[in-house]
Structure 1
Amino acid sequence: MSYKGERISADTVDWNSVNIHAYTFTQDPGPANPLGQFKFNFPNKHAIYMHDTPQRELFAERTRTLSHGCIRVNQPDRFAALLLGEDKGWSMNQVRSLVAKGPGSSTVIALNRHVPVHLTYFTAMAGQDGTVSDFADFYGIDNRMASKLFSNPAHFPMPATPEVAESGSSSSTQAQAQRRRTGGGFDNFISGIFGN
């Protein structure tokens, strides 16, 4: 915990009379931290970042809309080694030795080179062979876009929960399930990028 950039003890604060927003709370990286060992910040107005996770089992899920808005990275040590290798000439061993320092050793490393980050959200995507695949619109963006673009908005089906998308009876949902079984689609595209 810190106040105006200085570490302080929580016992020194009168919690009944302070502005809690004036304090910064941090947790050491590690298996008990929801962000795991790594956090990758990048500039954006929404405070979105990429991070490790102790919940490794989530990467085996078919439906990956399980976060609170940030982006879990399956192999964060490899991602860190890639970024730091390009920027500072680091090896995987250097990244691992930094992590091996253990609890209480949080290190911030700023990159000298800017790395562009582009987050996209697609509910349809053309494959290399030209076929178009569609995906569940968990965030309802298609309906919002349609209401902005057309005077009579379309009503695209939106799954109520990830389970509905997996077990629904619509032809679109059946097509999505078929793509997942056959290894195509957006899930595998993203998995390929992050090496899982």
Structure 2
Amino acid sequence: MENGKIYWSREVATLLGIGDSTLRKWCLELEKAGYAFVRDENDKRAFFDKDVLALRDMQILIRKGITLENAAISLQTRLKQKEQAAIVLSGLEDNSRSDQAFTKTDLIAKNEFLEYQQAFFEQLEFQLLPKIRNEIKQELELKFEEKITRLERLLQDSVERRDALLMDTLRKIQEETQRQIATAQETKKKRFWGLF
């Protein structure tokens, strides 16, 4: 059983500044990635300090633009690495306290752990890199489409302003031409009647 203060969903959501439904989604995604929360007899999650810290780390990853799924996988990977490192370190401390040299079995186990960790990182890289590349590509395409749309709007506005200015200029020219024609006709009439 865990030690420390127990928090319930509403308290954790308040601490993180998120809604209950968001917390539920995050927890489900973490559980899908292999994280285990303690549950009470009513199957409600009980959160301990380590869980709150894990969720805060997840919140940071999400704010950096990492998808919920990738944030959960990354966080669970990091937590497993810490856990495995703690096991190795505790083994080292036990051996150093007893002043015993490493046995061949200890060295083989540590070597297997390092090989497992290396394979795990390679697998994680293999799984996450295409997803991250795809997300970046989609984001760039979206930004490109937004820029194209904005440029099309600017072009359309420019064309509309040009057309409005052109029509205004044509109207003024037409009015001036009609005024000049009217003035010329008045002048002709005055000359014509001036002869009599």
State TM-score, norm by structure 2: 0.19
More strand by share: 1
State TM-score, norm by structure 1: 0.19
More helix by share: 2
Task: Give the number of the structure whose alpha-carbon radius of gyration is greater.
Answer: 2
